[in-house]
Structure 1
Amino acid sequence: MSAVCAIFSSLSVIPDGPYLKDSVNIQSLAASSIITLYFTDLGQQVSWTTFFLTEYTGPLLIYLLFYIRLSTIYDQVETTKNFRHPVVHLACFCHCLHYVRHLLETLFVHKFSGEHTPLKNMIKGCVFYWGFTSWIAYYINHPRYTPPCMYKQSTKLTLMCEAGNHFINVALAHQNHSGNKACFPSPTYNPFTWLFLLVSCPNYTYEVGSWISFTVMTQTLPVGIFAFLMVIQMSLWAQKKHKLYLKKFYPEVRRKAAMIPIVF
C-alpha cells in the first residue's frame, strides 16, 4: 500500500493471539473443515520508514531554528551583543550529525521486519524527540549560555560514538541480509565493530555513549535529563534483544553483557 497513513486489520486463530502473516494459507491451519478466525482492527498505521523519517527530521530542523537565533525566540539586542563560543557551533554540528546519520541509515541501511506501526506511536515519538530538542536547543543557543570547560575531549568522544554506531548498524545490516542466520554478528576488520566481543548490542552502547558525551560537552540540564532517559530506554531494549540472542546463539552470547561491558 503506497499511502503514508492507512487503516489496517489483521486475523488470528485465537483471541488476542499472534496475527497471521499475509503469506499463510488458511487451509494449512485448519485441523478440520471448520476454523474460527478472529478479526482485529489495527487502526491507522504508518510505515516504519515514515515513522523514523518524521521522528528524526523534526529534531534536525528544530535545532537549526534555535541555532540561527530567530528574533521570535531570543531577544534580538542580546543576540547581537553576545559572542558565540565555539562549543555552540560544535554542539550544533554534533546534534545535526546525529540525526542526519539516523535519516540516512533509515533510507539506506536499516531493513524493517514489520511493515507498519500504529500512528499513535509516531505521534508519541515526535512529541518526545521534538519537545526535548526544543528544550535542549533553547538553552545551548541562548545568548547568555555559559560555555563549559574541557569540551574538546567530549566532542571527540561524541564523534567517535556516532561513527561506531554507524559501523555497527552497517555490520548488522550486512549480517541480516547475507543469508547466514546461524551465527551471532561478529566483529569485522573495522575496530569500531570489535565491541561485539564484549556486548551483544553495541549499537545501543554507542548511542548511550554519544548522548553522555554530548551532556559533558554542553553541560546543560535538558541534555542530561534526555541522556538519562535514553540510558533507561536503551537498557530495556538491550536486555530484550539480549534474551533473544541467548535463545538463538547461546554459546556465542552467554559470556557477553547486553549493553555495558562486564557491568550490564
Structure 2
Amino acid sequence: MASKPITLQTESRGKRIPKLPPDTSIYVQGSTCDLYDRLSKETGLSASRLRITCDGKPVPNDKKITVGSAGLGSGSKIQVKDLGPQIAWRTVFVIEYLGPLLIHPLFYFLRPYIYTGANSPPSTLQTLSCITITLHFIKRELETLFVHRFSNATMPARNIFKNSAHYWVLSGLLIAYFTYSPTSITAGKGSPLLTYAGLALYAIGELANLNTHLVLRNLRSPGGTERGVPRGLGFDWVTCPNYLFETMAWVGILMINRSWSTAVFLVVAGVQMAAWAKKKEGRYRKESGGKYQKKRFAMVPGVW
C-alpha cells in the first residue's frame, strides 16, 4: 500500500514570494529535489532560484536525499527564499575568462594607438607575454566548456560583475597596460636564461593543471553532485594541486614579463586560491571521513 503524502507548512524568507502557497504536499520517501521541483511549479520560479531551510538548517536540492532523511515530517515548517535571477556557473566562467582573452591581444596589436612612442615592433618578451597569457585563458575557456563538472548549477546573476572584475581588471587591463607599454621592463631584452626557465615552468604548470582538472572531472558523473577522493599527480602533496600548478604557470609568466602588475595579480590570486584550498581540505575531511588522507598542506608543499 502506497504511503500518503505529508503536508509541509511554507513561509517566505526575506522578500515575499507572491505565489508561494501556505502549504505543500510531498511524499516523505520522495527526494528533496522533488520538493524543489514542486515549489518551483507552484511559485513559477526556477528551482535554482529557491533556497529551502527548516529551523535554520538548509534543505539541499539533491536527488539522493529523501524528504524524511532531511528531517522533514508532516506539519514541518519550511522557509523558502527567492535568491533572485540566476546565471549558470559555466556561463560565469566563460564571461570571466573572455575579458583577458580579448584585452591582451587588443593591447598587443593596438600598441601604436594606445601608447605614445610605441612605433617600434613589440619586444620578444612582450610577444611571449601575449602568447602565454592568451593561451592560458584559451585553455581555461576550453576546460570550462568541455572538462569542468559543476556541483552548483547557478549563482546569483548580480555577482557576475564582482566575479568578472578580478579577471577583466587585474589579469586583463592591469597586466596588459603595463606589459605592452614601450617604457615597460618587458620592452627590453631581459635574461634569456630567466625567459627559458619561465617558459618551462609555465608549460609544466599548465599541463599539470590540466591533468588535475581531468582527475577531478572523472570523480563526478555527468550532471551529478557527488564528491570523490582525488588521487594522482600532486594530490599526495597538497589538497588542491590545481591551485599549486596554476600558481606555477603564473610564476612562469612573471619570469617572462618581469612586470609588477603581473606580480600584483599573482599575489591576489594566490591569496584567494589559498583560502579556497583551506576550505576544500575541511570539506574533504568532513564529507569523506576515513577515505580521505589528511594533508598537512592545502596548496603549497611546506608552506601552506
Fold match by TM threshold 0.5: yes
Gaps of 5+ in 2: 1-39, 41-45
Tell me, in whole angstroms, the C-alpha distance in 1 between the residues paired with 2:276 and 2:195: 30
Would you say the 8 A contact 1:7–1:43 is kept in 2?
no
Tell me, in whole angstroms, the C-alpha distance in 2 between the residues paired with 1:125 and 1:245: 25
1:99-142 deviation per Cα after TM superposition (whole angstroms, max 9, x unaligned): 11110011111000111101232110112211111111111111
Tell me, in whole angstroms, the C-alpha distance in 2 between the residues paired with 1:53 and 1:106: 7
Tell me, in whole angstroms, the C-alpha distance in 1 between the residues paired with 2:47 and 2:200: 43
Q: Where does residue 25 of structure 2 map in the other structure? A: none
Which amino acid letter does the alignment assign opposite residue 220 of structure 2? N
**Alignment CA distance shift 1:10-1:156 (3 Å):** same
Would you say the 8 A contact 2:111–2:180 is kept in 1?
no
Q: Where does residue 43 of structure 1 map in the other structure? A: 84
Which amino acid letter does the alignment assign opposite residue 214 of structure 2? V
Q: Does 1:64 align with 2:105?
A: yes
State how 1:17-96 maps to structure 2 within 5 Å: 17-21=57-61, 23=63, 30-32=72-74, 34-75=75-116, 78-80=117-119, 82-96=120-134
Q: Taking structure 2 as the reference length, what is the TM-score of the superposition?
A: 0.74
Would you say the 8 A contact 1:140–1:220 is kept in 2?
yes
| Match for residue 143 of structure 1 among 182, 189, 214 | 182
Q: Taking structure 1 as the reference length, what is the TM-score of the superposition?
A: 0.84
Gaps of 5+ in 1: 188-192
**Alignment CA distance shift 1:174-1:126 (3 Å):** same
Tell me, in whole angstroms, the C-alpha distance in 2 between the residues paired with 1:93 and 1:10: 43
Q: Secondary structure at the match of 2:85?
A: strand
Task: Count residues in correspondence.
Answer: 249
Q: Where does residue 149 of structure 2 map in the other structure? A: 111
After the TM superposition, which of the residue ranges 134-143 and 250-259 deviates more from structure 2?
250-259
1:140-173 deviation per Cα after TM superposition (whole angstroms, max 9, x unaligned): 1112223332222112211210111011101111
**Alignment CA distance shift 1:22-1:250 (3 Å):** closer
Q: Where does residue 164 of structure 1 map in the other structure? A: 208
1:196-216 deviation per Cα after TM superposition (whole angstroms, max 9, x unaligned): 221121001011111222222
Would you say the 8 A contact 1:45–1:118 is kept in 2?
yes
Which amino acid letter does the alignment assign opposite residue 129 of structure 1? Y
Shift of 1:58: 1.2
Tell me, in whole angstroms, the C-alpha distance in 2 between the residues paired with 1:246 and 1:10: 25
Shift of 1:25: 6.4
CA RMSD across the alignment? 2.7
Q: Secondary structure at the match of 1:253?
A: coil
**Alignment CA distance shift 1:70-1:6 (3 Å):** farther
Which amino acid letter does the alignment assign opposite residue 259 of structure 1? M
**Alignment CA distance shift 1:86-1:71 (3 Å):** closer
Q: Where does residue 23 of structure 2 map in the other structure? A: none
1:81-102 deviation per Cα after TM superposition (whole angstroms, max 9, x unaligned): x242211111111101111111
Q: Which structure shows the bigger proportion of residues in helix conformation? A: 1
Q: Secondary structure at the match of 1:259?
A: coil
Q: Does 1:173 align with 2:217?
A: yes
Superposition misfits of 4+ residues, deviation over 6 angstroms: none
State how 1:152-231 maps to structure 2 within 5 Å: 152-177=196-221, 184-187=229-232, 193=233, 195-231=234-270
Tell me, in whole angstroms, the C-alpha distance in 2 between the residues paired with 1:204 and 1:7: 28
Would you say the 8 A contact 1:52–1:103 is kept in 2?
yes
